[in-house]
Amino acid sequence: MDRDRFETVTLRWLRRAVIAGFLVITLVPFWYMLVLSVRPIEQVLLRPGSLWVPLGELTVGTYAEVLRAVDDGGQGFGTFIRNSGLVALAATALTLVVAIPGAYAVSRLRFFGRRQVSALFLAVYLFPSIVIAIPLFVVFTRVGLRGSLFGLVLVYISQTLPVSVYMLKNYFETIPISLEESAAIDGAGRLGIIRRVSLPLAAPSIMAVALYDFMIAWNEYLFALLFLVDKPDRWTVSLGLSLLADGVEVPKTVLMAGSVILTLPIVLLFFAGERLLTEGLTSGAEKG
C-alpha cells in the first residue's frame, strides 16, 4: 500500500512538474514579446532583459504606429488585418461548404473507389507546399488571379480541404446510422437528414475543422509572399510582419507589437473553442 501510494504521489507531482514546464516554455516567450511591445525602445535598450513593465513606462504608441496607415507614417497593419480576416474567413467558409457534403458522401454513400478516397486525401500531405507553389504561380498568373485575395483563398482551400474532408468523414462514421434511418422512416429526405440529424451531432467536429482552417489561412506565409509580394495594399498580416522584421529602421518594440497582433486572434479563438476543438479532434481521429 505504501509503495502504491508513493508511486501515485510521485506520478501526480511529476505530471504537475511537466505541465508547469510546458507552461513556462510556452508562456514566457509570449509574455516577453508582450512586455517588449508596450515599452519605449529607450527603456528596452537600457534594460533589455526585464520581464516587468513599470506603470511609468507603459505605452501603446507602438500599437498605434503598427496599425496606422503607411501614408500617415505607420506600418499599415490595419489593412493587413482586414485582408487576413477576409481571406481566412472566406477560405474557412468555402472549405466547410465543400468539405461537409463531401465528407458525408464518403462516409455514407457507396460508390466505386470509396475506400481509396481517404488515402488519396492524406497523400496530398506527403508533398511539401513548395512542390505545388511554382505550378500554382504559373497557372494563376496566366488566368489573372496572381495578386488577388480571391486567388489566395483558392490556394488555401486546396491546402485545407483534404484534411477537412478526412476529419469530418471519420466523425460522420461515429454517428449511429440508426438515427438517420429513423429520420428516413419519419419521411425525411437525404438533405433533411443531414440538416436535422447529422449536422447538429457533428457540430464539435465542424468547429474543430473551422478553427483548423482559419488558423492555417491566418498564419500562412509562403503563398502570401508568392502571390501578393508586389501588391502591398493586399498583404496579409504574416507577410507584413515578415517584411517588417527585415526593416533596419523599424524598432524591435514595433516588431513585437506586430507579432502580438498576429498571435492574439488565434490564441483567443483557440481558448474560446478549446472544448469543441478537443472533442472534434478526438472524435475525428477515431473510426466508428
Same-domain pairing of 127 and 19:
no
Same-domain pairing of 129 and 11:
no
Q: Is residue 183 part of a domain?
A: yes
Burial of 283 (0-12, 13-18, 19+ CB in 10 A): buried
Instruction: Count how many domains the chain has.
Output: 2
Closest CA to 276 of 210, 213, 216: 210
Residue ranges making up the domain that contains 270: 70-284
Same-domain pairing of 114 and 175:
yes
Same-domain pairing of 198 and 270:
yes
The interaxial angle of helices 114-123 and 149-174, nearest 10 deg, is 130
Same-domain pairing of 134 and 187:
yes
Domain boundary among 59, 78, 106: 59
Same-domain pairing of 51 and 81:
no
Burial of 105 (0-12, 13-18, 19+ CB in 10 A): middle
Closest CA to 233 of 52, 13, 69: 69
Same-domain pairing of 48 and 154:
no
The interaxial angle of helices 114-123 and 77-108, nearest 10 deg, is 160
Same-domain pairing of 82 and 211:
yes
User: Could you tell me the CATH number of the domain that includes residue 231?
Assistant: 1.10.3720.10
**84 with 235: CB under 8 angstroms?**
no
From residue 38, give the alpha-carbon distance in Å to each of 59, 88, 206, 252, 268: 5, 28, 37, 11, 19
Domain boundary among 35, 59, 83: 59
Q: Is residue 264 part of a domain?
A: yes
- Give pLDDT, residue 149: 92
Q: pLDDT tens per residue, the chain (288 residues)? A: 566 777 777 888 898 899 899 888 888 888 888 888 888 888 887 787 778 877 777 888 888 888 888 777 778 888 899 999 999 999 999 999 999 988 888 887 776 666 677 677 777 767 777 888 888 888 888 988 888 899 999 999 988 888 888 888 888 888 888 877 787 887 777 788 888 888 888 888 888 889 889 989 998 888 998 888 888 888 899 888 887 776 656 777 888 888 888 888 888 887 776 666 655 444 444 444
Q: Is residue 227 part of a domain?
A: yes
**Ordered alpha helix ranges (H), 38-113:** 41-46, 61-67, 77-108
Same-domain pairing of 265 and 232:
yes
Same-domain pairing of 22 and 165:
no
Q: Is residue 243 part of a domain?
A: yes
Same-domain pairing of 237 and 207:
yes
Q: Is residue 198 part of a domain?
A: yes
Cα 106 → chain centroid: 25
Q: Is residue 65 part of a domain?
A: no
CA distance linking residue 31 with residue 35, whole number of Å:
6
Same-domain pairing of 39 and 170:
no
CA distance linking residue 219 with residue 160, whole number of Å:
13
Closest CA to 79 of 222, 192, 236: 236
Closest CA to 89 of 139, 160, 181: 160
Q: Is residue 78 part of a domain?
A: yes
Beta strands in the chain (DSSP E): none
Q: Is residue 64 part of a domain?
A: no
